[in-house]
Amino acid sequence: MKNKKFKTIEKCKRIFVLLLVLCTLAGCAGSKAAGNQNAGERADDTESVVDDTKREPNIVCWGDSLTYGTGGEGVTYPSVLAEKTGLTVYNYGVRGETAKQIAIRMGLYQMTVLAFTIPEDTTPVPVSLLYQGEDPVMMRLGDVGMNPCEISGVKGELSYQEADGKYYFTRLEAGKEVSVEEGAVVTMDAAGKVDANDIVVLFAGSNDRPTKEDAAALIATEKEMIAYLGSEKYIIVGLTSQEMIPEVAAVNEELKEAFGDHFLDIRSYFLEHGLEDAGITPTEQDKADIVAGEIPSSLRVDIVHGTPDFYQILGEQLYEKMRADGYLPKEE
């Protein structure tokens, strides 16, 4: 009886082991299949990331009223670039700004606040804005690139009220009251929006009115801007108004020396080809302007701002330079 019982037990053990082996093999096969599926998913994810890096570039235009398009009756060089390239183009032009103010809006030069309290609700609250301890004099004629912004983790919008000469911060959504410490940084909307694939146009300095001697300060600021934005695909637009900047030709020579092939001498192009490109027969004043080294009056609405033809030509020349420099996607 013992032997029979023992044999039965041994038989059960062998069946159990066999079942265990079969289950293990099935589990391994299932794990392998699952592993293959996960690998496929990762491959798809990787492919998605690669595709994202191959996206078409955006064109980001930083500047003052000449980028904003004052006098152009709706025609701006960014709008011309958008039409000719079919790409997304950002117009970050604000009238009246110096290169330093553009750099602050860009986020290169950090703007901070004095201590204040952000309330729970969306009521505007006064805030003191500072750059190197002084009012940076922002938002008088525009805020593109700045709003919406973020202060101490709270998203909102900055505004300036001319009536009382104060800045205000308005949170976008109600939430917990926040005590903001002095020195807290204002994170601008445009911060981080440019990557290495994007094309940058920088047209700054008219409101700085540089001479040849202090052109180095403008160049230094523009170099900081380009380094901060992080794209090698950029164009520096030369200054245009001789009446506003008497040494404009010499300043442009300094810019050309500093930026090389990245520099666009649009002033010289306007003097040589502007009227022809616009289909305008030169007036006597135009001829006198050209002799004096000033952009023809027929292409200007005042001493610095252009007509629609002015901005159209500027946009077209930027487009041609982007093509020549290989910045634009190849046409199929």
In this structure, the answer to whether residues 293 and 162 fall within a common structural domain is no
pLDDT, position 246: 97
Residue-range definition of the domain harbouring residue 172: 110-189
pLDDT tier at 144, thresholds 50, 70, 90: very high
In this structure, the answer to whether residues 68 and 95 fall within a common structural domain is yes
In this structure, the answer to whether residues 276 and 207 fall within a common structural domain is yes
| Rounded mean pLDDT, 88-115 | 97
pLDDT, position 53: 54
Kindly give the residue spans of alpha helices, DSSP state H, lying in 75-185: 77-85, 99-106
Instruction: Answer whether residue 101 is part of any domain.
Output: yes
In this structure, the answer to whether residues 170 and 212 fall within a common structural domain is no
Query: Is the confidence at residue 31, as pLDDT, over 70?
Result: no
In this structure, the answer to whether residues 101 and 178 fall within a common structural domain is no
| Rounded mean pLDDT, 299-322 | 98
The answer to whether residues 199 and 58 touch, using CB atoms and an 8 Å cutoff, is yes
Rounded to whole angstroms, the Cα distance separating 14 from 21 reads: 11
Query: Is the confidence at residue 19, as pLDDT, over 50?
Result: no
Kindly give the residue spans of alpha helices, DSSP state H, lying in the chain: 2-53, 65-68, 77-85, 99-106, 215-229, 248-259, 266-269, 275-278, 284-292, 308-324
Question: Is the N-terminal amide bond of 78 cis, ω within 30° of 0?
Answer: no
In this structure, the answer to whether residues 283 and 177 fall within a common structural domain is no
Rounded to whole angstroms, the Cα distance separating 103 from 46 reads: 35
The answer to whether residues 274 and 265 touch, using CB atoms and an 8 Å cutoff, is no
Average pLDDT, the chain: 88
Domain end (from 143, 170, 189): 189
In this structure, the answer to whether residues 122 and 203 fall within a common structural domain is no
What percent of the chain stands above pLDDT 70? Answer: 83
Query: Is the confidence at residue 248, as pLDDT, over 90?
Result: yes
pLDDT, position 35: 36
pLDDT, position 331: 72
Query: Is the confidence at residue 152, as pLDDT, over 80?
Result: yes
The answer to whether residues 75 and 69 touch, using CB atoms and an 8 Å cutoff, is yes
In this structure, the answer to whether residues 142 and 260 fall within a common structural domain is no
Query: Is the confidence at residue 146, as pLDDT, over 60?
Result: yes
In this structure, the answer to whether residues 199 and 291 fall within a common structural domain is yes
**The CATH number of the domain where 63 resides is what?**
3.40.50.1110
Task: Tell me which long-range contacts 111-114 makes (C-beta under 8 A, separation of at least 24).
Answer: 111/136, 111/138, 111/185, 111/186, 111/188, 112/182, 112/183, 112/184, 112/185, 112/186, 113/151, 113/180, 113/182, 113/183, 113/184, 113/186, 114/182
Domain end (from 162, 189, 216): 189
Q: List, for residues 162-187, the tens digit of each pLDDT value.
A: 999 999 999 999 999 999 999 999 99
Residues in the chain: 332
Instruction: Answer whether residue 89 is part of any domain.
Output: yes
Domain end (from 189, 218, 237): 189
Instruction: Answer whether residue 78 is part of any domain.
Output: yes
Instruction: Answer whether residue 51 is part of any domain.
Output: no
Give me the DSSP letters along 158-219. Answer: EEEETTTTEEEEEESS----EEEPTTPBEEPTTTT---TTSEEEEE--GGG---STTHHHHH
Amino acid identity at 11: K
In this structure, the answer to whether residues 95 and 120 fall within a common structural domain is no
pLDDT, position 69: 98
In this structure, the answer to whether residues 207 and 71 fall within a common structural domain is yes
Number of domains within the chain: 2
Rounded to whole angstroms, the Cα distance separating 198 from 232 reads: 9
Rounded to whole angstroms, the Cα distance separating 273 from 100 reads: 32
pLDDT, position 54: 63
Rounded to whole angstroms, the Cα distance separating 55 from 49 reads: 10
Contacts of 31 (CB under 8 A, 6+ apart): none
Distance of CA 129 to the CA centre of its chain: 22
In this structure, the answer to whether residues 163 and 245 fall within a common structural domain is no
Query: Is the confidence at residue 72, as pLDDT, over 90?
Result: yes
